[in-house]
Chains A and B, each alone.
Chain A
Amino acid sequence: MLTTLRVRRYNPEDPQPGPFFEDYKLELDPSDSVLDGLIKVRETLDDSLALRCSCRGAICGSCGMRINGHAALACKTKVMSLTQSGDTIEVEPMNNMPVIKDLVTDMAPFWEKISQVQPWLKPSEPPPVGEYLASPESMNHLAGVMSCIMCGVCVSDCTVLEVDTSFVGPAALAKAYRFVADPRDTSTTLRLETLNQPSGMWDCTRCMECIQVCPKGVGPMDRIMALRAKGLEEKVPSTCGSRHAEVFTDIIKHKGILDEPMLAVRTFGLKHVGRLLEMIPMVMQSVFKGKVPLAGPLHRPISSIQHIQRLFTRVRKKS
């Protein structure tokens, strides 16, 4: 099948560094991976195309890149899943990272964020003579998050990182979860307190991109939610992030409808007058765009509030 790989090139040494798109037309088997195609380009058409790759089997994490707009491992992405008739496939470097050359990104900021969560076990000392005891369930549970190969694909497509580069990011948070959930780690409270800070676990907006793109089924967003739940459970000192979740729940429980002004006031707290005043421009915009309901900013509970409250009781009972 004759296919075109449209690759975003960038060469810092060129007088015209780019980026620009370059088309490579080549004969590909539908069962080939995009990586097979790129290697074929390198070996037969243009060996100046720079990319990272190693294992070809989705275990080393080297070949993360954006394919048709979504981050993925090139070795795991089959041409036939993208086109059955030779349509052009767009290949670009991962997003949210500086580009060194062509498809090679600078992963230093990625690793910086990983190291921020202190990603090593802090077990009780002194260690036992033999192994630390741990239940089979606890270790099996960790297998999911330990499957992370640090490929960066989740970070590439994280929509929060696009607008806030200080966010620690899905990979680092998933890694942090790995330690919080490890019964041998004695640093849970301290870890949660750190993750509770700005740019930490409360900054995820739950867009699901990381879950969608992760090639190893790590489910970073689910781990972030689990961290939040653990933080609330352990009653780490509240921050705007945790209060937002608690107040949201509380408002729905009592009013059956989201009272957004109340949400803002109670999340920030009346002490933080500055934060509240900062919201005025956004509130004005909302009013002009018709996003503030006619019933006014102060909602009354809905008529069928008792059904909402029965739902709450049911869910509480089940968990």
Chain B
Amino acid sequence: MTSPPFYDVLVVGAGLAGMRAALSAHQHGASVAILTKVHPVRSHSNAAQGGINAALTDRGDAWEDHAFETVKGSDYLGDQDAVEVLAQEAGQDIITLEHMGVIFNRNEEGRLGTRRFGGQKKARTFFVSDFTGQAMLHVLYEQLMQAKVPVYEEWFVTSLVKDEKGHCAGLVAFEIRTGDFSLFRAKTVIMASGGLGRVYEPSTNALICTGDGMALAYRAGAPLMDMEMVQYHPTTLKGKGLLITEAARGEGAYLLNKDGDRFMKHYAPTMLELASRDVVSRAEQIEINEGRGMNGCVFLDCRHLGRSMLQDRLGQIYAEAKTFANIDLAVDPLPIRPGMHYQMGGIKTDTEGRCWDIHQQWKGLPGLFAAGETACVSLHGGNRLGANSLLDTIVFGRRAGHCAAEYARAIPPPAISEHLMETDQDLVRSLLARGGQGERAAALRLEMGRTMNRYVSVFREHDGLETARQRIQELKARWPAITVQDKGQVFNTSIMAVLELSFMLDCAETIIEGARIRKESRGAHFRTDYLDRDDEEWLQHILLYHQPENNPHADFLPVTITQWQPQIRVY
């Protein structure tokens, strides 16, 4: 195609964060476009089920409570200035979503209804049955259609590009339908490309969640932060690892071991099933490891909730349990186990979504922004509370869009040349030309996924991490010899799989490196060889910088504390 126009703001990813950022930038007068690997409504935001948190003062709730519970949930690794912003702005953002048309649940007075969620004493989770993410995603797409923001649908980004001053100036991408490459020039790029679940096997995540944006930013010089903080969700189905929402527990479901015992009373005497996710996942894993599970699972018991309530407020998981696990939730308990679900870490940003520090305390990539699961502000620190991710995408997507629009106003158009496409074009050409029958990308991905799920999961220790590190290095060495059968240009999903695998291997490397470096247990990162949380040494973030052919370079940033000094964390 002829060179695309240049944009003030180019958003990569059309999930909740990407679309919210694009709308915000558009409303602030910037020229915006979105590039996305899949149609916007196919984005993985649609899989979020339970709800979105906000503390509304007119309900007698206080944003400080929400903020504190988020900080405690993060095991004190969350930056409190960012968490305060999240909690303060949540209320208005929920109202804005409702004004856009989201069909939030209502109470008897016709006002927005709430349900309880993990790690929070008050019910402040707003929801649409049990498909809140999908309900929000589709409404944002409607708004995008109305605003006529251009969407480059089914484009695959292969590199970020920088100008001579090292400022992010656009990206290289190919159109999946034709295989044609284009250079996109932009004053700013907002990376909102979601998580990296497919680094693990199994995972609740969709097949498209391959850490593309994190790897792209990392390779371009932006740091990845807190990558070792990978969340295992307590209730996922055996086999494919599909998600069963925390809302089930929010509505009163129990967790039982094979003896029918509500075991959470031993691990979290106050909050029980609604303790923070890392606490619940560890509890379940201990029950399973100590022989009180069945077939590697414990049970989610919804029977006492009654069929009518299940079909009303938990209709989607009721159908999901029937279809994918052959269980009628009203009649039988559901076997579940912890499964890889979310990446708390990601591309380091400040509270405005910038991937560089205007105070120069850490090195980043000027002109690059990030929001959503791809970013790490850090809001969620060592562990994310349920229903805070949907909130994160909206609040910080909006802020990144706004900040990028303002920033773009003050800088000149990008100056980069077409030849920047050549490296990626050559790579794809060489992949297509590679003859013979080498290994398949899928086989390497499975090895990587199983390695990560074995050695870098709920419980970690030195030897396992070292094994994982070596395995990933081996896989990286095998990557250049992968071959594909599909030699075409049109919709070549095999080429995409090979490129995605290289993104995932980079991400895996940083997860392992962070886990190796952090010699303590905090949040989702639990080391059986360093059992305690060590606030003296480790109340800090780990930033990892790409060094080709070498281990990542590590830097450290202290956690920002405003109001809440770290305390012992019990539920």
* Chain A contacts to B: CB under 8 angstroms: 11-13, 42-44, 46-48, 50-62, 76, 100-102, 104, 107, 111, 115, 118-121, 123, 127, 129-136, 138-140, 142-143, 146-150, 182, 184
Contact = CB atoms under 8 A, between A and B. Distances in A.
B45 to A, nearest CB: 10
B131 interface: yes
A11 B487 CA distance: 11
B482 to A, nearest CB: 10
7 contacts: A47-B493, A57-B243, A58-B323, A59-B47, A131-B95, A131-B98, A139-B104
A104 B46 CA distance: 21
A107 B176 CA distance: 14
Interface stretch (B138-146, B166-174, B250-258): B138-146
Interface in B316-337: 316, 320, 323-324
Given A59-B46, A131-B111, A134-B106, A150 B41 contact: yes
Contacts of B113: 136
B440 interface: yes
Nearest to A123: B99
Contacts, number: 160
Contacts of A139: 103-106, 128
Contacts of B145: 115, 119-120
Nearest to B147: A120
A276 B440 CA distance: 65
B99 A127 contact: yes
Nearest to A217: B319
B410 interface: no
Interface in B435-449: 440, 442-443
Residue of A51, A56, A148, A184 with most partner-chain B CB within 10 A: A56
Interface of B: 38-39, 41-44, 46-47, 58, 95, 98-101, 103-113, 128-129, 131, 134-135, 138-139, 142-143, 145-146, 177, 206-208, 240, 242-243, 312, 315-316, 320, 323-324, 440, 442-443, 484-494, 497
Given A120-B142, A133-B111, A139-B103, A56 B128 contact: no
B108 A54 contact: no
Contacts of B42: 52, 54, 60-62
Contact of B128 (A107, A115, A143): A143
Given A43-B442, A55-B44, 6 more contacts: A52-B42, A59-B134, A60-B38, A60-B47, A130-B95, A182-B101
Contacts of B109: 133
A130 B46 contact: no
Contacts of A142: 103
A271 B143 CA distance: 43
B109 to A, nearest CB: 8
A11 to B, nearest CB: 7
A139 B98 CA distance: 11
B320 A57 contact: yes
Contacts of B493: 42, 47, 50-51
Contacts of A184: 101
B481 to A, nearest CB: 15
A11 B488 contact: yes
Given A115-B145, A131-B95, A56 B207 contact: yes
Contacts of A56: 206-207, 240, 242
B108 A136 contact: yes
Contacts of B44: 54-55, 60
